[in-house]
Structure 1
Amino acid sequence: MADQKSWNESYADGNAWRRVTDAEVVALAAHLPAVAYGARALDVGCGTGKYAAALHVLGYDVDGIDWAPAAIKHARGLEQPGLRFHVADLADPGLAPGYGLVTARLVYPVVDDRAALLEAVDQLLAPDGVFVVTAPRPDILPASRRHVGLSGEHLGELADWAAVLHVVGHEELRIALCTRST
């Protein structure tokens, strides 16, 4: 995994990752529970904020976090009531528990300590909340990039952590929806 400095330099250079498409958001929305008014969402590794903004359009009150200040600088151009961005990571003590939705788009496979990530999500997620992990299918990636795909090993980790795991295929992506309660 790249270090924080590398991520920040990449965003500062204008690099972006896989674009959020309307079809991807529709596919996600089709599998999420109905959004209660004021339901809180946390987008982990929000980058330039497009996915967080899409969650806001779905009705969530969204906090987007990323450890790259250059990414958050760009994302803040999208801020509005109910959509905020912060330079932070999951260990940030300023994050209050009780999120109905926590998302990690293009993040989970590249995190070095996924057990710590899951522990932090467990602390922040409401008891009936949903953790969504989205990443490319490894089988469509070149061999040199397969490490960024959501592999069978990753799905096994999520299945061990979650009470319920539902995996949706969407074009080149895998979307894993995890709940801790049944």
Structure 2
Amino acid sequence: MTYTARDQWDQHYSDGKGFRQLGERERELLAEHTPLPDGGGRALDVGCGIGELAAHLARLGYTVDAGDFADSAIARAREEHANVEGVRWLHLDIEHDDLAPLYEEGYDLIVMRLMYPFLRDRGRVVHGLGERLRDGGALVVITPVAETMPEERRGIALDEDEIGLVCAGWETMKRLDADGLAFLVLRGPCHTDTRAVEKRATTGHALTGALAIVTDDTGRVLLGRSRCGSR
């Protein structure tokens, strides 16, 4: 299942579907590697779906902003977690919407669970989120890996090269296993000189090239030479 349009996602959630439930190992790793800061913390759940992770973080003591671009996802999250305090549900497209609703003073924890492979312009999004981390904060990316996915579901997973690009440009990174999911904990300066490999058309990238000119002592320019020595 690889959706490319918002209406497909709306239909997905309207049909009562969701994603893999938050596992016990994921809960353990979150508690171990992103403990609640003294005095409380603020978290952002990007692509929150029906809100299971956001509700879990709120129960841990975080004040949570949880956003998704599917209307039906946010509607279900509000209904299914109506008794959970400390969550602000946002109808928000992290790639295309004005991000003014996000908390100006930043976040101690930003989580992207089971949604990173669906981004079109991954590098720009991750860079922007990294800039919203408070000192000592962490970006956690939880994702399926390609080697454990059947070919027809490859679109929802990352291969090793893609995971390497996610982790590049950070001061520290930890890669952990959460029952077959890659659990990436990224801290420090956000991506400044890296861009992730895209699966689909992006919103636009600059291309950089390199050129070398070879001349001899008289200034003649070498246009090309075969192995046989002809020019």
Give the TM-score, by structure 2 length.
0.73
User: Does 2:100 correspond to 1:93?
Assistant: yes
Q: Which residue of 1 aligns with 2:180?
A: 172
Q: If each structure's helix is expressed as a fraction of its own residues, which one has the higher value?
A: 1
Structure 1 residue runs of 4+, over 6 Å off? none
Do the aligned partners of 1:44 and 1:89 also contact (CA within 8 Å) in 2? Answer: no
Which ranges of structure 1 fall in alignment gaps of 5 or more residues?
Answer: none
Match of 2:132 among 119, 124, 130: 124
TM-align CA RMSD: 1.8
Q: Which residue of 1 aligns with 2:123?
A: 115
Distance 1:2 1:37 in 2: 40
Distance 1:95 1:44 in 2: 11
Q: Which residue of 2 aligns with 1:155?
A: 163
CA shift, 1:127, in A, is 2.9
Q: Which residue of 2 aligns with 1:8?
A: 10
Give the TM-score, by structure 1 length.
0.91
Which stretch has the larger CA shift, 157-166 or 40-49? 157-166
User: Does 2:87 correspond to 1:48?
Assistant: no
Higher Cα Rg, which structure: 2
How many residues are aligned here? 182
Q: If each structure's strand is expressed as a fraction of its own residues, which one has the higher value?
A: 1
CA shift, 1:117, in A, is 1.0
Do the aligned partners of 1:43 and 1:104 also contact (CA within 8 Å) in 2? Answer: yes
Do the aligned partners of 1:101 and 1:131 also contact (CA within 8 Å) in 2? Answer: yes
Do the aligned partners of 1:11 and 1:71 also contact (CA within 8 Å) in 2? Answer: yes
User: Does 2:31 correspond to 1:29?
Assistant: yes
Distance 2:25 2:130 in 1: 28
Does the residue aligned with 2:129 lie in a helix, a strand or coil?
A: helix
CA shift, 1:137, in A, is 2.5
Distance 1:65 1:126 in 2: 19
Which ranges of structure 2 fall in alignment gaps of 5 or more residues?
Answer: 190-231
> How high is the sequence identity, in percent, across the aligned residues?
32
Does the residue aligned with 1:161 lie in a helix, a strand or coil?
A: coil
